[in-house]
Amino acid sequence: MKLFTHYTNRAHDFLWVGDLDAVSGLHRRLVLSLRTLYAIGRDLGEGQLTLRAMSLVYTTLLSLVPLIALSFSVLKGFGVHNQVRPFLLALLAPLGDKGVQITDEVIGFVNNIKVGVLGALGLGLLIYTVITLLQKIEMAFNFVWRVKRARPLSQRFSQYLSVLMIGPVLIFSAVGVTAAFFGSTRVQSLIAIEPFGAIIEMVATLLPFLFVIAAFTFVYMLMPNTRVRLGSALVGASVAGVLWQTLGWGFAAFIAASNKYTAIYAGFAVVIFSMIWLYLNWLIVLIGASLSFYHQNPAQLASPRRELSLSNRVKEKIALLATTFIGRNYYTSAPAWSLEALAGRMNVTPISVEGVMHAMQGAGFITETADDPPRYLPARSFETITVKELLDAVRSAEEESGLGTESLPHEPGVESLFMRIDAAADESLRGRSLRDLALSDIESLASPATIR
């Protein structure tokens, strides 16, 4: 037991103790890789990823036919609708003969959908079912990326529409062009000539991986309500693509050896196996998204805990720094700050800054622009807002209605102390405004013409 504790403590010290900036590049990459594996394992162990994967299985089963029906109608206009069945067969290939059965059933359902028979209400319910699936996917990705706010309704509709309209066309067009390329007479004649034949065969083997990775990259960049860098999305998509393809081989072997389960569950075996396969697919997608998050936010790996809790002192300093930077750029006509830029300037993660920025927005101190990504500007003149008001807003930001200081017992000694603390803060700050704070370092150096 002592030996186990000794090695556990050494592993903890190796992973979490010390400054990574002070060690060599190889050592730093090793520690970050191990921290990432630990963080993903911790997220899986906490059960939220698995719970959301199971939720997506249910929503997918409910929305699969409407989703394919809408995509089918779009693809038909571009003349590539004949690729739907081969795509489903490839997706469900690990299920073996059961995959063929499910594909035929789904295609049959899609062919039976007639918009004229459905009417306006039926068509509306069809679209609503698909939108619900995409909304559930966004919520799962927002959880992985620690994003607290969903997209606005207008933005959500436009981006979901792009997924439904553009995504299937790009995917099936790429599949169709690839099939036409490898089926051409010139490529077939090259296959007979070495080493061109081996190279073409290797490319044909790698293409499914590349298509899956490209699709995952597209999803990882589009679905979370935050800016995801291409490199981070590609890292997560590459690992998820390899896992997805490898899992397909393993699951196909499992299905081939599942005669006992088929005998036990009879006709229900198809449903059970398809649900397991969907669950594993969604779990891999969320693991890849989690890897993208940690790759883009390595500061989130500084602690073994999932959520980095900020003390009140840290929140207050972030608020003071943020208003200083925002006000300084505003009054000197410099470009406005984005969330990511502010986080980089403070050397913290955007998630750490986001909660404080929401508190300041809720108090009416700052506002977001309509840029992409949004940038921050004063919501009203910083001359009319005191530093004390800012600190009070940050301190009370997370108080629930009915559970604030007024709902706690009133003890004369405590109330008197609270009043003395507030009075001391007022006296210390002496009505200093946010404009004074923002321009404190440059007002004496700049000419009056450069400050609005």
Q: Given this model, what pLDDT does residue 123 score?
A: 65
Q: Given this model, what pLDDT does residue 448 score?
A: 45
Pick the CATH number of 312-450 from 3.20.20.210, 3.40.50.12780, 1.10.10.10, 2.40.40.20: 1.10.10.10
Across residues 84-107, what is the average pLDDT?
Answer: 72
Reported pTM:
0.73
CA–CA gap between residue 130 and residue 70 (Å, rounded): 9
pLDDT for residue 68 is more than 80: no
Q: Given this model, what pLDDT does residue 432 score?
A: 87
pLDDT for residue 101 is more than 80: no
Across residues 182-203, what is the average pLDDT?
Answer: 69
Across residues 318-341, what is the average pLDDT?
Answer: 91
Across residues 81-95, what is the average pLDDT?
Answer: 68
List all residues 6 or more positions away from 222 whose beta carbon is below 8 Å from its beta carbon: 159, 162, 163
- Nearest partner of 90 among 75, 76, 102, 78, judged by Cα: 102
pLDDT for residue 421 is more than 60: yes
pLDDT grade for 449, boundaries at 50, 70 and 90: very low
Looking at the chain, the whole-number percentage of residues with pLDDT higher than 90 is 14
Across residues 349-358, what is the average pLDDT?
Answer: 84
pLDDT for residue 405 is more than 90: no
Mapping DSSP onto H, E and C, the string for 10-48 reads HHHHHHHCCCHHHCCHHHHHHHHHHHHHHHHHHHHHHCH
Across residues 14-36, what is the average pLDDT?
Answer: 72
Q: Given this model, what pLDDT does residue 416 score?
A: 87
Q: Given this model, what pLDDT does residue 451 score?
A: 45
Q: Given this model, what pLDDT does residue 325 score?
A: 93
Q: Given this model, what pLDDT does residue 450 score?
A: 46
Across residues 207-215, what is the average pLDDT?
Answer: 80
User: How confident is the model over 283-315, as pLDDT tens digits?
Assistant: 999 999 999 999 988 877 776 776 667 788 889
Give the least confident one: 32-46, 185-199, 276-290, 384-398: 185-199
Q: To the nearest whole number, what is the mean pLDDT of the chain?
A: 78
The ranges assigned to domains in the chain are 46-301, 312-450
pLDDT for residue 77 is more than 70: no
- Name 337's bridge partners: 376
Q: Rounded to an integer, what is the distance from CA 272 to the centroid of its chain?
A: 29
- Nearest partner of 337 among 369, 384, 315, judged by Cα: 369
Give the least confident one: 17-26, 74-83, 158-167: 74-83
